[in-house]
Chains A and B, each alone.
Chain A
Amino acid sequence: MSPSERPRINREVAALPPSGIREFFDLVTTVENVISLGVGEPDFPTPWHVCDEVYDSLRRGFTSYTSNLGLIELRREISGHLCRLYGVEYNPDNEIIVTVGVSEGLDLTLRTILSPGDEVIIPDPCFVAYGPCVKLAGGVPVPAPMREEDAFKLRPEVVRSRLTNRTRALLIGFPNNPTGSVMTREELLPLAQIAEEHDLLVISDEIYDRLTYAGTHTCFASLPGMWGRTVLLNGFSKSYAMTGWRIGYACAPADIINSMMCVHSYTMMSAPTPAQVAAIEAIRRGEPDIERMKGEYDQRRRLLVKGLRDIGLSCFEPLGAFYVFPSVKSTGLTSDAFARQLLETEQVAAVPGSAFGQAGEGYLRATYATSMANLREALVRLERFVPSLERQSRARNGQP
């Protein structure tokens, strides 16, 4: 029998663009002696007391399913934690759901709230999953560009210019991956006003909330009138160095959480139980770990920003997450060409900004979630690399 002529892959899936990160990853694995500034996760191991608590739970047999919403003890801890940090109140009984990382939280939210053709405004550049997840949920992602001149903040007039009568939600993520930009309370208020005026839901991915290096993080749901129209997404991966545990949560009014639970119950059932145990321990006793890691990130951040500027790359000061987003426009190369040549000639891996959206073209995402020694060596290599590009560029233009 001949193979079927009908397409075997769902049209939406087949149309998804290949992930720029994935392509770059494949390239990096072919090169030796690489110093990677391309990793989007902490270089610290999960705090030992967290692992120790999980060992103990396994010995005691905590290995079965939990409630679809997650362990009530964990939901109570999350509720208390958010109230202490931001003064936002969520009822652990019906306004919090524990998810398999923020990734599932995002997918779950979009699948729960979007109807076919609904538009979702997303920042550009942004985390690589935003656009594809909107599409997979039947929606249409509408990028709202952010610019270096605005310190990569999402400007209300840009959001307004993207509104249509199909706009259903605004999906934001600050502190921002890939730029490291943050938005203050005053800067978020106009976005809240837009949400109010146009009856939008706001999905706020705050996974990097604890990694801010100036001022305090503003939880979107804490803005006036926003609690009722916000789905707050957060998790344990970045603050507590727990990426591989895959544990996050979503908080929202009960009607939304109830529908999300319905979807989640048919797809995930419940987040992994050992990871939920780990998360409880992290919230209860992990504050000193956060402070320790954040202190270290902050020192590396200053080192990397100064090092890049000394080399001659324009680099706005990132005040959150663990990324810097220098401009490589002065070299005359595209993001992709710069990243490839840097990898080939100096074996330093950093992700082209274009992998995060069109507005990321001309930039490079470099992470400082790597050791000080690696950062120093990467800067030495960049210091050789960037001037060599300028020499090439002058030679091309026939200048001495």
Chain B
Amino acid sequence: MDHAILEILSKEGRCTPGEIATRLGVDEADVAARIREYEGKHVILGYHALVDWDKAGDGRIFAFIEVRANPERGAGFDRLAEHIAGFEEVHSVHLISGTHDLNVVIQGHDFREVALFVAEKLAPLPQVVGTATSFVLKSYKLEGRRVAVESEDRRLPVTP
């Protein structure tokens, strides 16, 4: 039952324990208890709407920052990554393999704001060796969902 509950909630955050229980053929009280446990242990970090900000006309922008950095003895990149994650402008931070070390996603209102954040806050951090900024121009898929209308049903309304 465990991963099945997470599987459902990861796609449909608003699904109620009652419905999850029906869909999985298990007891509602067990599902509710398990969800509380996940929340308590931060397996479930939160629930949010997946928003197409472009369509909302909000004008916010996102940028991917490739960060090259020197690891610390005993802590690797953890302290630096946690430090970067603390900034409100930072949407997500990942330690990655490949040509650079951290991948940072920044959310801002315009190009200038993001560029200044990188120049004034990120790049000057003592462990950071270099940064490369790529602005997102258009999104095609977000968190597993196609951004273009994907709900269009082309089937005939009644078929044998």
Residues of A participating in the B interface, judged by any CB pair closer than 8 Å? 19, 21, 24-25, 28-29, 34, 36, 38-41, 43, 127-129, 177, 299-300, 302-303, 306, 349, 351, 371-372, 376
Q: A-facing mask of B19-61, CB < 8 A → 1, else 0?
A: 1001111000000000000000000000000000000000000
Q: With A and B bound together, what is the CA distance between A372 and B157 in angstroms?
A: 17
Size band of the interface chain B makes with A:
10 to 19
Cβ of B155 under 8 Å from chain A: yes
The answer to whether the Cβ of B158 comes within 8 Å of any Cβ in the partner chain is yes
Which one of B8, B22, B24, B157 lies within 8 Å of A39 (CB-CB)?
B157
Q: Give the contacting residue for A349; candidates B8, B12, B151, B158; CB below 8 A.
A: B158
Q: Are B22 and A128 in contact (CB under 8 A)?
A: no
Contact call A302/B24, Cβ cutoff below 8 A: yes
Interface membership of B97, Cβ < 8 A: no
The CA-CA distance from A371 to B23 in the complex, in Å, is 13
Interface contacts beyond A36-B158, A303-B19: sample of 14 additional A-B pairs, CB < 8 Å, sorted by A: A19-B160, A21-B158, A25-B158, A25-B159, A39-B156, A39-B158, A39-B159, A40-B160, A41-B155, A43-B153, A128-B160, A129-B160, A303-B22, A372-B12
Most buried by B among A19, A28, A39, A371: A39
Q: Which of B133-160 contact A (CB under 8 A)?
A: 151, 153, 155-160
Looking at A19, A25, A177, which has the most chain B CB atoms within 10 Å of its CB? A25
Closest 7 CB pairs of A and B: A299-B23, A38-B158, A25-B158, A36-B157, A40-B159, A128-B160, A28-B157
The smallest beta-carbon distance between B80 and chain A, in angstroms, is: 38
Contact A302 B22 (CB under 8 A): yes
Pick from A302, A306, A349: contact of B157, CB below 8 A.
A349
Residues of A within 8 A of B157 (CB): 25, 28-29, 34, 36, 38-39, 349
CA distance A265 to B155 in the complex (A): 31
CB distance from B3 to the nearest CB of A (A): 11
Residue of B nearest to A304 (CB): B22
Q: In the bound complex, do residue B23 and residue A127 qualify as a contact, i.e. CB atoms below 8 Å apart?
A: no
Q: List 26 A-B contacts (CB under 8 A).
A: A19-B160, A21-B158, A21-B159, A25-B156, A25-B157, A28-B157, A29-B157, A36-B157, A39-B156, A39-B159, A40-B159, A41-B159, A43-B153, A43-B155, A127-B160, A128-B160, A129-B160, A299-B23, A299-B24, A303-B19, A303-B22, A303-B23, A306-B22, A351-B158, A371-B151, A376-B19
By a CB distance below 8 angstroms, the chain A residues around B153 are: 43
Interface positions of B (Cβ within 8 A of A): 8, 12, 19, 22-25, 151, 153, 155-160
The docked-state distance in angstroms from the alpha carbon of A303 to that of B19 is 7
**Interchain CA distance A18-B101 in the complex, whole Å:** 68
The dominant DSSP class at the B interface is loop
Minimum C-beta distance from A11 to chain B (A): 24
Inter-chain contacts of B158 with A (CB < 8 A): 21, 24-25, 28, 36, 38-39, 349, 351
Q: How far is the CA of A29 from the CA of B157 in the complex (A)?
A: 8
Q: How far is the CA of A321 from the CA of B153 in the complex (A)?
A: 20
C-alpha gap A30/B151 in the complex (Å): 22
Find chain B residues with CB under 8 A from A25 CB. 156-159
Closest to A31 in B: B157
Q: Which residues of B contact A300 (CB under 8 A)?
A: 23
Neighbouring A residues of B24 by C-beta, 8 Å = 299, 302
In whole angstroms, how far apart are the Cα atoms of A128 and B160 in the complex?
7
Residues of B contacting A24 in the complex (Cβ-Cβ under 8 angstroms) = 158
A168 to B157, CA, bound (A): 36
Residue of A at shortest CB range from B150? A45
The CB with the most chain A CB atoms within 10 A, among B25, B151, B158, B159, is that of: B158
Most B CB within 10 A of own CB, among A21, A24, A38, A43: A38
CB A170 to nearest CB in B, in angstroms, measures 21
B155 proximity list for chain A (CB < 8 A)? 39, 41, 43
> What A residues does B19 contact at CB under 8 A?
303, 376
How distant is the Cα of A349 from the Cα of B156 in the complex, in angstroms? 12
Which B residues touch A299, using CB under 8 A? 8, 23-24
Chain A nearest CB: distance from B146 CB in Å?
10
Q: How far is the CA of A372 from the CA of B24 in the complex (A)?
A: 13
Contacting pair B22 A38 (CB below 8 A) = no
Chain A's closest residue to B15 (CB) is A372
Chain B residues positioned under 8 Å from A29 (CB to CB): 157
Residue of B nearest to A29 (CB): B157
Nearest CB of chain B from residue A304's CB, rounded to whole Å: 10
A302 and B24 alpha carbons, distance in the complex (Å): 7
Q: CA of A21 to CA of B153 in the docked complex: distance in angstroms? A: 19
Q: Determine if B12 and A38 form an interchain contact, defined as CB atoms under 8 angstroms apart.
A: no
Contact of A302 among B12, B25, B156, B160 (CB under 8 A): B25
Chain A residues, CB < 8 A from B160: 19, 21, 40, 127-129, 177
